[in-house]
Structure 1
Amino acid sequence: MKKYYFGVILLLFFTNLFAQNNPFEISGKLISEDDQTPLEAATVYLQRVKDSSLIAYTITDRDGKIKLEDKTNDASANLYISYVGYQTYHKLVDLKKSKINLGTIQLQVSTNALDEIVVNAQPPITIKKDTLEFSVKSFETKKDANVEDVLKVLPGVEVAEDGSITVNGKPVNKILVNGKPFFGSDPTITTRNLSKDIIEKIQVVDTKTKAQAFSGEKGDNENKTINLTIKKENNKGNFGKLSAGAGTNKRYEFAGMFNHFDNDQRISVLAGGNNTNSPGFSFGEIMKMFGGNSIRFNSNGSFSVDGRSFGGGQGITTSRNYGLNYADKLGDGKDMSADYFYSKSSSNNNTIRERENILPDSRFFTKSNTSNYNDNDNHRANMEFDIKPDSTLLINVRPTFSYGTSETVFSQDESSFDESNVRTNDYSSNSVVNSISRNFNNDIDITKRFGSNGSFLRFSIENEIKTDTRKDFLNSVSNVYGDNPESTVRDQFADVSNKDNNFNSEIRYRIPLVGKKLFFDAEYNYQRNKSDNTRSTYDKDVSNNEFSNFNTDLSTDFKYINEQIRPELTLRYRTDIWDIRLGSSYVFRTLENQDGLRPELNVKRRFKNLQWRSNIEYKFSAKSRIELDYRLRNNPPRVNQLQAYRDVSNPLNIRTGNPDLKPTDIHQITLSFRSFDWQKGTGVFSFFRANFEDNRVVSKTTTDANYVRETTFANVNGNYTINGNVSFRKSVKIDSLRTLRFGANMSGNINKSINYNNGIQYASNVKSLDPSVDLRFSWKDVFEISPRYRLSFTRNTYDINAFKDIDFLYHAFELNTATFLPKHFEWRNDIIYNYNPNIAQGFQKSAWFWNATLAYSFLKDNATLTLKAYDLLNQNTNARRTATENYIEDSQSTVLTQYFMLSFSWKFNTLGPKGETRQGHFRRF
């Protein structure tokens, strides 16, 4: 029976592989009927006559030319041409002909009456100026697909195993549902829990604030936002999922999400917990049960959701997480959204380090062992209100609250040795720290538009109040050996209080100079950050066994002030082809530190600096563009780098500030090019960036004969970093069932750093090259395989003879497979192989990391039973080597090891048609 079964599979494979597909080429030209101008970026697509499924599509070029090429065994098909604001063109074409010339097609301006003529003809891709829109039903996926599955098949979109998304080489940093946040816009919560069936369109735009979108400004061109539009008939009802699992080594996980949609009102509740270093919110079957960390997990065991820490420590983390999200329209011109998160986590980690420290005339070695236990308890609430009194005024308010407590138990043992392996000093410590943190932040944007040419006035204000109090118990012993041995014993208690009050205000006015093409912006910014940091340290009095002896040397009472005034002028020119921005600002900054215990060390410095920003973007067509960006920005030294306070908290590494430091000028040049051919499925994405720094602030350390270090700070010139990346993507649709995606990437980096070592200035040069290739073959409902190989070359060279040049080589191979046969079964394997031949003796040089899962779906695919094997070969390691200008370090810490887990999940969906809730009926989700 098995032989017959596999024989049928092989027969189907080769039958599909060699099925007769006739090539065709459709050409022509598209112009506007009213003014006879070419129409660029119109969508040209073919649909099958029998079921309206998509065969192929492309977009017109700048001259309105059409070129649609593909293969099919259909004898005829429906051809549609769609362009925003125009009537959709339709023609039944005979595909028996290999070449079809449509001639010149004149599109008529759309009217309501004409719009009613077109039925069942939704373009797969629509380009509306800066918005790229995909019709979800035009892209085939496996059954029961979620949003992430859809994103993986969209042209120009890449989804990594950890759930991170890029569009045409740009990272996605925000995901919205019907224009509103969905649990803080965390990608995996949204993409892995919303079904394809309820989504109508996926829109991609440059990331913008609400105020920028309202005023029509260009947003953040470095990041993208995805907006998921839910079908109107699926915007009322309930859906969600529950899952739980138990495994060997006392491993467990549970998670649940409930969603209630009622048109404008949306309520979502989630809960999760585990001791497998997972956020617990990503519920998709198989690899998604790992919570997005099955492969690209953090070696320290931590993770975050929209900037909120859910791990809070290193090693192995046990977490509990609960959340509530609410969004609603409160009336005409009034929208609101809010979410609340509670997270509790405990983490445990042990780390060993071996470091080779490089001096101009010698070397010494340090070995350390650290143990860290951390327990966190956090609450966070976010709210957002949009108020539109009329069509020209928007008030956006975004308050945020957070409260957290934590306890950290830390111990460390460190020893230093000379080149003859003779111990020169050692240090051991044990500490217990209990802390409480509170934070309130509120952002307000008020935007008023004038006329229809893009003129607006905006006033923004942001205020943040933070407090952090800590109780720190420390017991330490440090020993210095040699000719003059010395020992320092500390048994202390420190009462720490940090208070921050940050204020930032901005007013901006835009004046249109030439229609909607040339604008002048005037901006004024005022910023004031104030910090009160107090540390009261008490030594234990042996006579009464109480912490009552105030230690002035280890106590501080600082008041920091960073005040800035920044006027800015910007000229912006924008057309369909060009986008040019020229802007300059002048910064008046005051840095002040008041030392309540040592008033003679008070410091106050004033800086005046010019900043510049220019950006030029040119669109060759809707498919490709090039961008050149230059920035001159100024970073002042930190106040604690300026103050002459002598920090002796670590007696083996004493730090002192330098009040004569100058600000750092940073010149940054970026050149990027992006091109994607929709017809051929080919994309090229590249960037080049160079940073040159004047007066960079660096540490200046001297080491004595016993390797006790004294550190201060100094300015240096000559630092620069040059890096670049070229990525090529190719997607080939073999037939209606099978797709092949290929990717190649090359990144490089050149870094020159000027530093000090024992008072001697030197330069280090680091050059690295990282090529990688990846492949993804997908056979719908049958099989998927995705291999990836990455190689990393690094070379460190120095201009001082005492430092030896260093070469590093690193290999990484990944293989992800998925099998969907027999029916209702899904088997996935995620395999990683790492090889680091340069690691020191005693550390693991190579390791295989293999996760495997097998899932069975039943009850109409609403229930799933999953067997998961984590680290199947029991070789998981995070051994790594780090090289800097003056040391080489090998380290290894606690990682999650092998376990097996059986999980059960159940999903439900009562979203009904046309806003009707279908009680008691469950559909696939």
Structure 2
Amino acid sequence: MKQILSCFLILFISTLSFSQNFKISGELIDEATQTPLESATVFAEKPADSSLITYTITGKKGNFELVGKTANKEINLNISYNGYTPYRKKIALNGEPINLGTIKIAILAEDLDGVTVTANRAPITIKKDTLEFNAASFSTNKNATVEDLLKELPGVEVDAQGNIKVNGKSVNKILVNGKSFFGDDPTIATRNLTKDIVDKIQVTDTKTDSEAFTGEKGDDQNKTINITIDEEKNKGYFGRVAAGAGTDKRFEYAGLINYFDNDLRISALAGGNNINSPGFSFGEIEKMFGSARNRSFSSDGSFNVDGKSFGGGKGITSSRTTGANYANNFAKGTEISTDYFYSAANTFNEDISNRENILPENRYFSTSNSRSESDNDTHSANIRFKTQIDSTFMIEVIPQFTFNKNSEDFTKNETSLNLSNELINQSTIDNKNNREGINFKNRLVATKKYGTKGGFMKISTNSETNAIKNEDFTNSRTEIFGNEPQSIIRNQLSDGEKTTTDINITPSLRFPIIADTLFFNASYTFGHINNKDRRNVFDFNEQMQQFSDINNLQSTDFSNTNNVSKAEGGLSYKSEKIYARFNIGYLFRTLKSEDALRQIEFENNYGALQLNAGFSYKFDKTLSLYGGYYLFNDAPNISQLSPYVDISDPLNITQGNPNLKPSNEHSIYIGLNNYDYKSQSGFYSYLNADISSARVVPKTVIDENFVRNTTYTNVDGNYNLSASIGYNKNVKLDSIRTIKYGANFYVVSDKSVNFNNNIEYSNRSVRYFPSVEVTFTWKDYFEINPGYSINFNNNSFDIDAFEDRSYTRHEFSFKTKTFFPKFLEWNNDFEYVYNADVANGFEKSFAFWNSSLVYSFLKDNGSATLKVYDLLNQNNNVRRVSNQDYIQDIQSTVLKQYFMLTLSYKFNTLGKKGEIDDNPWD
């Protein structure tokens, strides 16, 4: 160990000794107009291999200052600006500052808009609506995925779950060569495509195809990342296969194969495991979805990929997946992409729960334990078709189909005690549920541009049909003690069907008042939603030994229609720096409900004003301010409206309220984003306020036997205020060592009006979430990434029966990666969590440590990974959940320690004109 540290120290000192600092400054202007050129990319490369040393961006006056450190005596200086001739100069370094004075560059003779023509690709190009990164300019470790590349890009953050933010804004869409890749889940692309095939990473505001076609403003709160494949590497096969086995009968296998031929793209994947992971992660420690940080703390042993469920919610999940994706351009302007997924999961979970229920003049305690095992199978298919008939007319069709089949066995025992520790009630339940669901969605958009001033006509139709059939067997016994003791025994079959049909048609028009600048917008929306809920409950006939006695009290045949008509008009304005919109509309809503079994029928008519407004202002190419306001009307759902009394759980009886009104929701937000690529530092802030009137909330009355009777009502006074602020910075110490650090602060203040035992009260809560993170990277040797976050939660009530409460949770993480010797990689992921406020009998803290050792062979195409999950064997799934009227501590089944050896092999013929890869065995 001492020898290793000594070698490391000698290497560190020698690197510093042979490196020299340099500073190169100058001013960039247009040769013809003599005006400064802002946001040009200035970068230095090594003459030997053109590898990037450092870069910067010119300021508003075209000025730049390039600072770095290198062991080279000469560097190549490059300046790139979109649409201009590139500048290149070899510079000898002498340890002194170098001022190049004024540099003049000329516009290209044939400027292709949106194309950077340069001898050496700039690491960053800032275009009008696009931020573009050159993948080759950012160094990563061998076998790096797109996610690893994204982590190296300035202003880009990727969390442990694979969620991406660019300059503080969330990324909600990932494209590959402009097309979706296995739906909209980003991690399928970012965690399975490798960096070596990537040409550029392009970042834009999220837009629909129709918005991009018409030039409309997109979503200013979300970003889209487009991964472009190098043209020379866009033909051939590439992929990866892996399989692993471990202790405690743990296993995993995965495979992904892709065929690219310019516009044609075919991909297939398959996998399976019993370690709470999607079947197509390849054993990397960061992608171990069963880790405590990613799953256990949220009790979520299951997971979702693009809305497709792979588990039942908690516990340990065994899953298997199969999928395929196809994309192609059939003719000029016609594109199609489609994907199919099959997923299956078996989930086992056991829960232990202690709950304190708080009433205005009393409180009681419930203890329960439950066990569940579920099987879930899902088939889904999606198609995206787009055709541009000519330069003014486009049609897009997006049908989606999902079939789901689920079965679950569930048992639960629960007891309730009063303050004197006397038994008030107890129950046991044994349920067997079987469900089948079919969902079909379709979106059709036809867009026609007219004139030359930015006008267009559009018609959008959205339809959805959802049908669920269920068969539930319930065997339960409920005992209520006290002055009027009773025992309720049920042995029942519930045969039900729920269907929803949702149709929405919106024709819209944009009329230019000032060409390409000021527009009048008008639209009309007709919406029809029909819900049906039929449930037949049969009691078990002991004499006939079958479920033959209809229970009308628990059965229902309820239907509900929600018809909406909305007319809307407004103005929008856009220029190079400013965008603003204001729309006002009025909505007519008719809610009609009928219970055929009980001969109940009612109809309500409502009218509501609707508003939406927004703006954005670009101070320069990196600093922008944006905001918006929405007022919309939301109808109650069918279960809240239905007068049906649900007594399937004798201790929790629920009945809807047909007199509920729609709620009005006000939302206002404002944000500021800035990333200074010159200093490689970013700052963002965001404020949001949501205010509700007539919000639907449950209204519960609890009797002397602690039986809960719940209905629904409308209340005013609910609000949610939130604010976030963040800062991150990259510090390039030299060409091989960098430091990235960031700090975030998030605060939420909300008020909720509720009822406790028929008494109205309000709850105010304030939650603070500060966090810091630092990453130090020494290229080819190691990476260190410590982080810390704390969660403060304070709750106060305006009712004397409730005590004000506060909770604190600490999380400390420490990740390391070691890359020497070159064929060996050692990864560690450590986290310590402390919950100060959980109840006695539950662990307040634990340390969680995952570790893996990766050995590379076959020219880095093959790898053997030995990983240890929960090295300290301390993982648990304890959490405290607090609400207005209860405090609950829950412990669930959790994935425990295991060791696993995984073999992985990747193949790639891209860029070899279809030839098979060089023999890796040589």
TM range (shorter): over 0.9
SS at match of 2:649: coil
Task: State the alpha-carbon separation in 1 of the partners of residues 570 and 177 from structure 2.
Answer: 33
Aligned to 2:914: 917
**1:75·1:96 contact (CA, 8 Å) conserved in 2?**
yes
The alpha-carbon deviation at position 713 of structure 1 amounts to 1.9
Q: CA deviation at 1:392?
A: 1.8
Q: CA deviation at 1:308?
A: 1.0
With 659-668 and 701-710 compared, the bigger mean Cα shift is at: 659-668
Q: Distance in 2 between matches of 1:845 and 1:114?
A: 62
Deviations 1:72-116 (A, max 9, x none): 455543333322222223344555475444444444221249999
Structure 2 gaps of 5+ residues are: none
- Report if aligned partners of 1:212, 1:219 keep a CA contact under 8 Å in 2: yes
Distance, in Å, in 1 between the alignment partners of 2:844 and 2:793 is: 17
Paired AA for residue 324 in structure 1: A
Residue in 1 aligned with 2:269?
A: 270
Q: Once the two structures are aligned, what percentage of the paired residues are identical?
A: 46
For residue 54 of structure 1, the aligned residue among 39, 52, 55 is 52
Match of 1:199 in 2: 198
- Partner Cα distance (1:888, 1:19) in 2: 62
Tell me, yes or no, if the aligned pair for 2:24 and 2:100 is still in contact at 8 Å.
Answer: no
Residue deviations 1:340-380 (CA, integer Å, cap 9, x gap): 11111110111111111111111111111121111011111
Residue matched to 1:858: 857
Residues 432 and 474 of structure 1 are in contact (CA less than 8 Å); yes or no, is this contact kept in structure 2?
Answer: yes
1:402-421 alignment, distance < 5 Å: 402-421=402-421
1:644 CA displacement: 3.1
Which residue in 1 is equivalent to 2:234? 235
**Corresponding residue to 1:90 among 67, 71, 88:** 88
**In 2, Cα distance between the equivalents of 1:705 and 1:611?**
45
Cα deviation for residue 576 of structure 1 reads: 2.1
Q: Which amino acid aligns with 1:268?
A: S
Aligned residues: 918
SS where residue 302 of structure 1 aligns?
coil
Q: 1:223-262 alignment to 2 at 5 Å?
A: 223-262=222-261
1:543 is matched by which residue type in structure 2? Q
- Opposite residue 784 of structure 2, the aligned amino acid is I
Quick one: structure 1 residues 54 and 923, their matched pair in 2 at CA, closer, same or farther if it must change by over 3 Å?
A: farther
Q: Provide the rounded CA distance (Å) in 1 between the counterparts of 2:116 and 2:451.
A: 35
Alignment-derived partner of residue 443 in structure 1: 443
- 1:536–1:556 contact (8 Å) kept in structure 2: yes
Q: Give the CA deviation at 1:580.
A: 1.2
The aligned residue for residue 393 of structure 1 is 393
Within 5 Å, which residues of 2 pair with 1:757-768? Answer: 757-768=756-767
Conserved in 2, the CA contact under 8 Å of 1:313 and 1:346?
Answer: no
Within a 5 Å distance, the mapping from 1:276-355 to structure 2 comes to 276-283=275-282, 286-288=284-286, 290=288, 295-298=293-296, 299-355=299-355
Answer with 714-723 or 336-345: which moved more: 714-723
Kindly indicate whether the alpha-carbon contact (under 8 Å) linking 1:278 and 1:293 is maintained by their aligned counterparts in 2: no
Other structure's SS at 1:872 match: coil
Aligned position for 2:749: 750
Matches of 2:771 and 2:682, distance apart in 1: 16
Can you give the 5+ residue segments of structure 1 that lack an aligned partner in the other structure? none
Amino acid at match of 1:649: S
**Does the CA contact (< 8 Å) of 1:405 and 1:437 recur in 2?**
yes
Which residue is 1:136 aligned to? 135
What is the match of residue 792 of structure 1?
Answer: 791
Letter in 2 for 1:408: E
For 1:59, the aligned partner's letter is I
Q: Which amino acid aligns with 1:497?
A: E
Counterpart residue type for residue 918 of structure 1: E
Corresponding residue for residue 179 of structure 2: 180
In the superposition, the TM-score normalised over structure 1's length comes to 0.96
Specify whether residues 891 and 113 from structure 1 end up closer, same or farther in structure 2 by C-alpha distance, changes over 3 A only: closer
**Distance of aligned partners of 1:368 and 1:22 in 2 relative to their CA distance in 1, 3 Å threshold:** same
Change (3 A) 1:117 1:245: closer
Paired with 1:803 and 1:402, the residues of 2 have a C-alpha distance of 45
Contact 1:812 1:832 in 2 (8 A): yes
**Structure 2 CA distance, aligned partners of 1:239 and 1:89?**
36
1:627 to partner: Cα distance = 1.6
Where do residues 878-917 of structure 1 align in structure 2 (5 Å cutoff)? 878-913=877-912, 916-917=913-914
- How much does 1:38 deviate? 4.1
Question: Which range is displaced more, 259-268 or 113-122?
Answer: 113-122
SS in 1 for 2:444: strand
Q: Is the 8 A contact 2:25 2:65 kept in 1?
A: yes
SS class of match (1:648): strand
Partner of 2:645: 646
Q: Report the Cα offset of residue 512 of structure 1.
A: 2.1
* Inter-partner Cα distance in structure 2 for 1:90 and 1:17: 28
1:736-764 CA distances to partner (integer Å, 9 max, x unpaired)?
11111111111111111122112222121
Task: Rate the CA distance shift 1:822–1:95 in 2: closer, same or farther, 3 A.
Answer: closer
Q: Any residues of structure 2 matched to 1:809-824 within 5 Å, and which?
A: 809-824=808-823
Cα pair 1:350 1:370 within 8 Å, conserved: yes
The equivalences for 1:557-572 within 5 A come to 557-572=557-572
Following superposition, the deviation at residue 720 of structure 1 comes to 1.5
Shift of 1:22: 2.1
C-alpha distance in 1 between matches for 2:39 and 2:198: 24
Taking a change above 3 Å as real, the CA distance of residues 644 and 118 of structure 1, as seen in their structure-2 partners, is closer
Which residue identity lines up with residue 436 of structure 1 in the other structure? Answer: E
Alpha-carbon spacing, 1:533–1:119, altered in 2? closer, same or farther (3 Å): closer
Q: Tell me, in whole angstroms, the C-alpha distance in 2 between the residues paired with 1:190 and 1:478.
A: 51
| Further displaced range: 842-851 or 329-338 | 329-338
The separation in 2 between residues aligned to 1:920 and 1:670, in whole angstroms, is 53
- Would you say the 8 A contact 2:25–2:101 is kept in 1? no
Work out whether residues 333 and 388 of structure 1, in 8 Å CA contact, stay in contact via their aligned partners in 2: yes
Between the aligned partners of 2:100 and 2:822, the Cα distance in structure 1 is 45
Please report the TM-score for the alignment, with normalisation by the length of structure 2.
Answer: 0.96
* Cα distance, 1:244 vs structure 2: 0.4
Deviations for 1:141-186, whole angstroms, at most 9, x for unmatched residues? 2233222221111100112222221111111121111111111243
In the other structure, the counterpart of 1:702 is 701
8 Å CA contact retained: 2:292, 2:848: no
C-alpha displacement of 1:894: 0.6
What is the CA-CA distance between 1:556 and the residue it aligns to? 0.7
For residue 649 of structure 1, give the secondary structure of its aligned residue in structure 2: strand
* Deviation, structure 1 residue 871: 0.9
Q: Distance in 1 between matches of 2:668 and 2:289?
A: 38
Q: Distance in 2 between matches of 1:425 and 1:10?
A: 69
How far apart are 1:400 and its partner, in Å? 1.3
Query: Is the Cα–Cα contact under 8 Å of residues 675 and 683 in structure 2 kept in the other structure?
Result: yes
- The CA distance in 2 between the partners of 1:23 and 1:88, in whole Å, is 22
Cα deviation, residue 663, structure 1: 2.5
